[in-house]
Chains A and B, each alone.
Chain A
């Protein structure tokens, strides 16, 4: 029996677990996928938002501003890479300048620090030398970039050290109330009991809420496609460049161009409503639009710089065409006591996650006193990437351990030691994508052309994988149909 059952192991679910694991509570996180970063938390812009887009007084405004500070603190504690780049919103036409002033006013009201309007193309280029010809910009120094997947992985691994239980490949398919508690059942018929139930299922939140008996919410999945550009371009972009948000699409920030902490540059996201909450498809038309849109902001890339495309899906609580402002919904449902619902946690959901976790904690604290744990581990040990070490240190380690000498991924220069540590990850995530997100192997410009066979060899020789054990990223994503010939 668990005190807390959190369904969904993404940024929100894992942040809540982190917040609550400071107390004497038995916590379980149920995640239907084989890893915690396969939902929206692994498919976004990786921007720590400042909070000037959202209606003053709204939860989005408050939690984003609070989250902006908090997530940076958490990242320092957890040793997750982020860069305080700041960002600019650029106006290309005079009419757009008015919009910048409006956003600044909203931002100032919301308590966003340091917003500044800067006029004149030259002055804009002083901040960001490579931006396209702009009339003016708003500079937001509080905005930052970070590695979204490493953040969630660091949270989850720390949570394990604080006795949070993670159940991967565990899809909750049924929820019943028994003796005032929740009885959960997964797709394999396993049962779990908990006193509190938290819905952190992202784009599936309405569906899950219905499972618990509350059918009053709807989610309209809205996908965002991205292009990913070769990291060779990284020196040419020092901060995210955003357009002035369009008034036609509700709460859509527009196609932006964003550096990532690891180097590659993202262009996106688009915004299209789709049926399938996991319709992670890219389309030729949108890819072309992104190319054009990105080029206007930052004319420094070619078609051949694209190394990959990807898609995330937003959990929008309003249908297409509805331009009213809508807020995060975070509450304990009156009709189902101890059930905390989180609905419509889309952007800035990631930035806000630590603040959302605080709100959830306070909801629980209203009903029961939480007793701090004697021993709380603030962070699991995280190593720097080998490639980021000084050369002398690299040589020293390689002399001591042959696995640091062997480079498995040539594009991102990932060593065998790092691959092995990723395979042995404490969550027990077993897919190839799990290794990819943890090490960056297979993420570079050759997309695994060189290292995939090498990683396969390590898994086979050192971890005893059989052909049928290899999975790319989810149940059924087999790599091999068998052996070619008998192995000798």
Chain B
């Protein structure tokens, strides 16, 4: 490229911009004014501001991310950038949705709550599709892998804003022993020095020369770190702030480089020097492309060297527009008119002189009534002193409605603000944290006073430098403003609107209507009208709304109050928040040592917590889950099955008082239990509800190992820790998670003993030598295994604990020795079926935190003679012993082949009326349901009111196709109630 231009496309057309241009400055450079369509009415919109406060110029960047709602006034262009306007169809100039503007009576305040109420069915078939088509902003981004990162800072002083006040603060701290972090939103320091010509000189140097020298000084100060292109978005408690750094300023996204950095900052003191935001004014068609805030216009000229229009009209109610007037005149761009709401007596001498010297049409005590034009301003209509309407041909209007300290971060910090009658805005009044505000954010709009302010507020810092500076400004020293929020307008047609929120298309009329309907509290009014609820959060208009509302309610603005400023300060990309914690880094996957074998044998996995557990194994390509589960469970009952139980939580409990502790944690009694034996145990919460179950193995009174459910391991350990540390710190007991120290296999089925005897041929597995619920540790090859005779399935079974290193080899060895015995690997679904056949509960399936052991008929697990354990007293509370609590029962459908659906309602009545007008009495719900291949019929478990008394009776279960089926209530034990298989 020879011409140093950066080329990009906007809506398919190629444009050239300069290096450093934002999309907006580059478009203005090419005289493009229409850049988008509005949210509700699809009205044409242009570029309103020159920064983060932009309500209108939101665009979509078409690239690897397809980022929507990008503020054209912030995003810098890069070579080949493809930009599209949003919310228009088929094209920006001829937009179909603009018909909404003519339907605007429908879209008035509260339309979200009123319009789409009925009739029935209209929402689904008409409203929602219509809204999805025409409302809203950009299109969702593409899925992409975030390469953003997080960085932490611990500093003494954070300075937010690298404008004049921020630089003065940094200068005061340069070379001290304070760690200082200075954060600037733009790509260059300077703020007002760069954005305007308000400051004439500092210490007799040109403002930009002083800026350059100061930046050099700060860069050479070892205690100051500067971050540019970084926006502080959040101010939390304890001086914790977060900021987002954009690493792709003027650069195309690159797969390999981080795009955003989320800085998390903890600081002792925070200096807010984040400046101010100019506010707009409401008048007829104040949204037309060509209307721009005055200071933004000035910033385009000063910072970007773009003059958006050679002869704009300036409309103001305050003294700050002097600098724009001077800037234009200096460039020989004569404004078409200077319109000031104030009386000529109140207007500064400097302004009057300048206007007179250059013969600029001047209208004091006048206001802009409205603008007219199709897709941009053609004529501006003024209401002059004697209520006379004058029309001026012009294509741009620069507006200033006053200046607001940017108090967003200050109020996030929980500081208190106060209305200032002199400058007509809120300014910080009292800090809650160690927060200092400097410059315009503190309501100090007078440059000469800034040096004093900085010195005074920062003198408490040890070793702070003296600031010996002199600032000269262009124009008047003082700030003067006259209150006005909306001008009187001559409504002409439906197209005429006076906006209070440009992004959400809220008009001043909507505010009036909302108050008329009773929404006179500012928080209600905001939600009812959606005022200031856009992505710009009403940065240029929310104070105006308070002004208008206060007039309508005849209250002071202080009485009206503000709505709460909530973080983030401006829109934050989710990818910045996510950082590297996406996909496999978001939630780690835990795999057992047998995982490769499961993969090889076509296991389909289920997520249990973070664990990947085999759900079932596909024996052949087209085997369905149901087929696999039927096959697996039948084979377990007929020969033998093996389950990878390595995911079960294992906790080791040691210490002199281990026995006492375990007795307190579980319902069962462990005192008389002999060493090297085990017990199925229940853990309750103090409220008496079942929390977890598992097997407690007693090695001796000082040493226990307990198992927990796969998903509950961490919770159970912290539950135990909590009681050990807080209730009984006197007990000598130590807890350790040993889940990963052992892989666990559960082998069950009639042939399990044969298999184990072959694998471990030196161990006697006979009932007599190795009875049910005992365990031992054995030497095997060159390591140790622990084997426990226990059962998950109601079949004869063994649990093998093996160091993970040897687990896969042992697993394969077991299969090697079972070649002729038909050992089947089975997954969690088959385990559930096998347990359901026996009526064994699954915590989390049969229980939901409202179920006691009594409800489950597990009274036998409660150590009756134990004086105390966690939850014991709750089991005798009057509500817990009530007979009509929901109790666990078994259900068998009368049509035994019918599959009951899990989660369905259990009801007493056979008939469900087709039109349901009163609640149907519900007994409970189905917790588990399977077809048992061994029994050859359907079985289910359910929690139903007074279930124990209903055994033997007939009730009904609802179905998903609005039917009911009759079922018989039975005891929840469908197979081998005498436990012959278990004990054989």
Do A and B bind? no
